[in-house]
Amino acid sequence: MLNFIHTKKLNIYKQLKLEEALLKNFDKPFCIINEGSSSSVILGISNNISDLVEIEKAKEDKIPIIKRFTAGGCVFVDKNTIFVTFIFSKKSLDITFFPEPILRWAENFYKKVFEIENFKLIENDFVIDDKKIAGNAMYIKKDRFLLHTSFLMDFDDKKMKKYLKVPKIAPKYRKNRSHENFLSPLKEKYSKEDFIQKIKTTLKDFFMIKDCNFSDIESRNTKFSTTYL
């Protein structure tokens, strides 16, 4: 039974803390879909802020800078980002709990969502042709893992250029392309409603689904790694 939460406009900081609590305090499987957030810059747990973020510009515009508890790169998110998170234990998903098998499982799931040949996983990103439509980050702890994916329904190239520095280490397939030439918005192929419905329909092909919300989840003390910078 997969516990399913669908929410809208949940602040990404609150979402990350919720995910961290679900990962660390429960053994149930979860899928969370959140439609958008207020604008924020999110860093991976091992990222160096000065290498990746235009700190003063973000502070001037009151853009929160958050370090999440998972690995992965630095991203700018906003109302046009759709977040999809999977949390599993070994007893609920029979795959090897290492990054490559986890990403390949997710690729197989989303292939059934997109139903197009040119969707695929390249390095740690989901792409259509050679353009990024979503980035992934994960956390693996013994017999439990979390994978969150940020899908770009649309993106603001000007804001990305303003708040994010060009990373010194980037995916090889990026080939030094600008955000505008490297990213592809999903709005060119789907409405937000249609895309989310396709995810929900595909989930039912893989799992028995139990709808729930935050009030259904028991509150427990958690030592959070997610933090504002």
- For 73, the token pair is 């790169």
| b (16+ CB within 10 A) / e for 4-25 | bbebeebebbebbbbbbbbbbe
The band of 190, judged by pLDDT with boundaries at 50, 70 and 90, is: very high
Number of domains, the chain: 1
Find where tokens 């980037």 sit.
170
The band of 222, judged by pLDDT with boundaries at 50, 70 and 90, is: confident
pLDDT of residue 2: 97
pLDDT in tens, 164-177: 998 888 889 999 88
pLDDT in tens, 6-49: 999 999 999 999 999 999 999 999 999 999 999 999 999 999 99
Counting Cβ atoms within 10 Å, is residue 204 exposed (0-12), middle (13-18) or buried (19+)?
A: exposed
Our measurement of the distance from residue 120's CA atom to the centroid of its chain's CA atoms, rounded to an integer in Å, reads 16
CATH of the domain at 212: 3.30.930.10
| Of 170, 229, 186, 174, residue with least CA distance to 41 | 229
Give the chain's mean pLDDT. 94
pLDDT of residue 79: 96
pLDDT of residue 169: 83
- For 67, the token pair is 């370090």
Average pLDDT over residues 73-94: 96
pLDDT of residue 176: 87
pLDDT in tens, 102-132: 999 999 999 999 999 999 999 999 999 999 9
pLDDT over threshold 80, residue 195: yes
Tell me the Cα Rg of the chain.
17
End-to-end CA distance of the chain: 37
Counting Cβ atoms within 10 Å, is residue 225 exposed (0-12), middle (13-18) or buried (19+)?
A: middle
pTM over 0.75: yes
Separation CA 53–CA 31 (nearest Å): 30
Q: Which residue segment(s) compose the domain that 135 sits in? A: 2-228
- For 167, the token pair is 């990373």
